[in-house]
Amino acid sequence: ADFGFTKVDKAKKADMVADVFHSVAAKYDVMNDLMSLGIHRFWKRYTIDCSGVRSGQKVLDLAGGTGDLAAKFSKMVGPSGEVVLADINHSMLNVGKEKLLNKGIVGNVHYVQANAEKLPFPNHHFDLITIAFGLRNVTDKSKALASMFRVLKPGGRLLVLEFSKPSTEALSKVYDAYSFYLLPKIGKLVANDAESYRYLAESIRMHPDQDSLEQMMKDVGFEQTSYHNLTGGIVALHRGYKF
CB of 49 to ligand SAM, least distance (A): 16
Q: Does 183 bind ligand SAM (CB under 6 A)?
A: no
Give the helix/strand (H/E) hosting 91.
Answer: helix 90-102
- Beta carbon of residue 218, minimum distance to ligand SAM (angstroms, whole number): 21
Does the footprint of ligand SAM cover residue 147 (CB under 6 A)? no
- How many residues are there in the chain? 243
Shortest Å, Cβ 8 to ligand SAM: 16
Q: Are 235 and 228 in contact (CB under 8 A)?
A: no
- How far CA 185 is from CA of 2, 3, 35, 181, 197, in Å, comes to 17, 18, 11, 7, 8
Is residue 168 classed as helix, strand or coil in its secondary structure?
coil
Q: Is position 23 an interface residue for ligand SAM (rule: CB under 6 A)?
A: no
116 is in an annotated binding site: yes
According to the annotation, is 19 in a ligand binding site?
no
Q: Find the binder of ligand SAM among 51, 57, 74, 137 (CB under 6 A).
A: 137
Q: Is 6 annotated as a binding residue?
A: no
Q: How many CA atoms lie within 13 A of 45 on its CB side?
A: 5
**Could you write out the DSSP letters of every residue in 176-232?**
HHIIIIIHHHHHHHHHS-HHHHHHHHHHHHHS--HHHHHHHHHHTT-EEEEEEEEGG
Q: What is the distance between the alpha carbons of residues 110 and 38, in angstroms, rounded to a whole number?
A: 27
47 annotated to a ligand binding site: no
> Using alpha carbons only, how large is the chain's radius of gyration in Å?
17
Which member of 138, 146, 159, 237 binds ligand SAM (CB under 6 A)? 138
Provide the 10 A C-beta neighbour count for residue 238: 22
Judged by CB under 6 A, does residue 21 bind ligand SAM? yes
Residue closest to ligand SAM, measured at CB: 65
Q: Which of residues 72-111 bind ligand SAM (CB under 6 A)?
A: 87-89, 92
Quote the least distance from Cβ 166 to ligand SAM, whole Å: 19
Give 18 or 55: the residue with its C-beta nearer to ligand SAM. Answer: 18
Residues contributing to the site for ligand SAM (CB under 6 A): 17, 21, 63-66, 68, 87-89, 92, 115-117, 132-134, 137-138
Could you list the residues known to form a binding site for S-adenosyl-L-methionine, using ranges: 66, 87, 115-116
